[in-house]
Amino acid sequence: MNSHLLKMLDLTKEDIIKILNTADQLKYDQKHGLDHSYLKRKTLAMIFEKNSTRTRVSFETGMFQLGGHALFLSGKESQIGRGEPIEDTARVLGRYCDGIMIRTYRQADVEKLAEYAGVPVINGLTDFAHPCQVLADLMTIREHKTRLEGLKLCYIGDGNNMANSLIVGGLKCGMEVFAACPEGYLPDRKVLDFARSNYGDVFSLCQEPKEAAEKADVMITDVWASMGQEGEKARREVAFAGYQVNDELMALASPGCMVQHCLPAHRGEEISAEVFEAHANEIFDEAENRLHAQKAVLYLLMGERT
């Protein structure tokens, strides 16, 4: 595994499977009360320029369970929020802490942080990528389906950070990936080039949700308007009409198709209340697995190497 977790494009299939296997073991240890304090006296700096529930709680709890300590740094309250160059913040935090997690807007800021920090950097979310969430998704799919290879993953909705990371992660793990996104809201060009040039026979992008959902083993969606896009809500509601995961769409999927949603969910928009509640156990298993997948990343980056 690389020295950082910045985006799914940086990981090999072997890296992903190692993270998932480590996450399974750490989840077992935690559920059975076994000591796994592998990060004693280690400190993680957590920079938040976007609001968070799951990312903050799971990373902070995960560091505690691993025997370490996490520090919360709000973008508004730290010097980075007052214009300090990110490379200077990186060099300071790298001298104080053993790792850095950042949840922000620009992927370039995460890449620059990693360039200058001198310690492992973890992308907790950017507008381009959400690798921690997708690792948790893959972990949950494997728990419920016992495998990843050969499954059909269907993504319905905005071609956002989730779509970018799911396409890459799913394809690298041997899944067929079908995505349905409206024109003007497609996944990033770098991701589409990667998918089409390396996995053209098992990747499909279309504008018709019913076409993508046919015989799907896993159905995934996300909100129509992500953080920072609230001003586009009305326009996006028009663009995404017909892109709801509902009973009609689920009827086209394979029997036993599971549903994933990174949360928070807007019932009645990207997913119907009926489908959400019918698959709530899978969705909240996915939310829980943020903790275990991120603990695996923390251990592999901050513990195993030292």
224-270 pLDDT per residue, tens: 988 677 788 899 999 999 999 999 999 999 999 999 999 999 999 99
Percent of the chain scoring above 90 in pLDDT? 91
Give 304's pLDDT tier (boundaries 50, 70, 90): low
The pLDDT-based confidence of 222 (bands split at 50, 70, 90) is: very high
pLDDT in the model for residue 225? 85
Domain 133-286, CATH number (from 3.40.50.2300, 3.50.50.60, 3.40.50.1370, 3.40.250.10): 3.40.50.1370
> What stretches of 13-85 show up as alpha helix (H) in DSSP?
13-31, 54-65
171: Cβ contacts below 8 Å, ≥ 6 apart: 177, 195, 198, 199, 202, 203
Res 306: pLDDT = 42
Q: Please, which pLDDT band fits residue 76 given cuts at 50, 70 and 90?
A: confident
* Chain centre to alpha carbon of residue 205: 20
CATH of 8-130+289-303, one of 3.40.50.1370, 3.40.50.300, 1.10.940.10, 3.30.10.20: 3.40.50.1370
If one compares 82 and 201, the residue with the highest pLDDT of the two is 201
> What is the model's pTM?
0.96
Tally of residues, the chain: 306
Contacts of 75 (CB under 8 A, 6+ apart): 47, 48, 49, 81, 104
Q: Which of 65-79, 121-135, 285-299 has the lowest mean pLDDT?
A: 65-79
- Residues annotated as catalytic are 103, 130, 133, 222, 262, 290
Residues of the chain with CATH 3.40.50.1370: 8-130+289-303, 133-286
pLDDT, mean of residues 280-289:
98
pLDDT of residue 34: 98
Q: Helix 280-298 crosses helix 54-65 at what angle (to 10 degrees)?
A: 50
